[in-house]
Homo-oligomer: A and B are copies of this chain.
């Protein structure tokens, strides 16, 4: 059971790179090479994020993408919603025709409760938080920038 798909995974990593270089444009190619993601696939993700106003772009030579929004307001939950659709534990384990009063159904409540827990967990993880943890964690940042090529065997 995979909770984060490649799309979300790549999107997070791309946003972290953009977040680390705020103010200047970073090309899709640079991100793809750096993070070892398929170029065209990544481009699709970046365009999707533009549509959702997470990033902006500039065309042409020296163009690329830039993070404009506050990284603390970009939540993994939103990324999951964009790339995987909203979290839903299940439509309803006990079909409509079984339960007369859905609002009172304890099972539905149980399931919705878990759904909320999952959502709130992902809500609390933001690009900003991840960035700070990266910066605090010494080598991660340099690894992300690939300045230290010795870190090739994790």
Tell me the A102-130 residues at the B interface (CB within 8 Å).
Answer: 102, 104-107, 110, 114-115, 117-118, 121-122, 125, 129-130
CB-defined contacts of A30 to chain B, threshold 8 Å: none
Determine if B151 and A99 form an interchain contact, defined as CB atoms under 8 angstroms apart.
yes
Residue of B nearest to A136 (CB): B106
Residue A85 interfacial (CB < 8 Å):
yes
A60 CB–B CB distance under 8 Å: no
Q: Which of A20-28, A39-47, A88-96 contacts B (4 or more CB under 8 A)?
A: A88-96
Is residue A1 contacting chain B, with contact meaning CB distance below 8 A? yes
Most buried by B among A117, A151, A153, A154: A154
Q: From B85, B89, B137, give the contact of A104 (CB < 8 A).
A: B137
Q: Is A139 an interface residue (CB 8 A)?
A: yes
Chain A interface, number of residues (Cβ within 8 angstroms):
55
Q: Which residues of A contact B (CB under 8 A)?
A: 1-4, 8-9, 12-13, 36, 80-81, 84-90, 93-102, 104-107, 110, 114-115, 117-118, 121-122, 125, 129-130, 133-134, 136-137, 139-140, 143-144, 150-154
Chain B residue with the shortest CB-CB distance to A85: B1
Whole-angstrom distance from the CB of A122 to the nearest CB of chain B? 7
Q: Are B133 and A106 in contact (CB under 8 A)?
A: yes
Asked if A13 and B94 make an inter-chain contact with CB atoms under 8 angstroms apart, the answer reads yes
Query: Lowest 10 A-B CB distances belong to which pairs?
Result: A96-B154, A4-B90, A1-B84, A106-B133, A100-B151, A3-B89, A98-B143, A99-B154, A114-B121, A106-B137
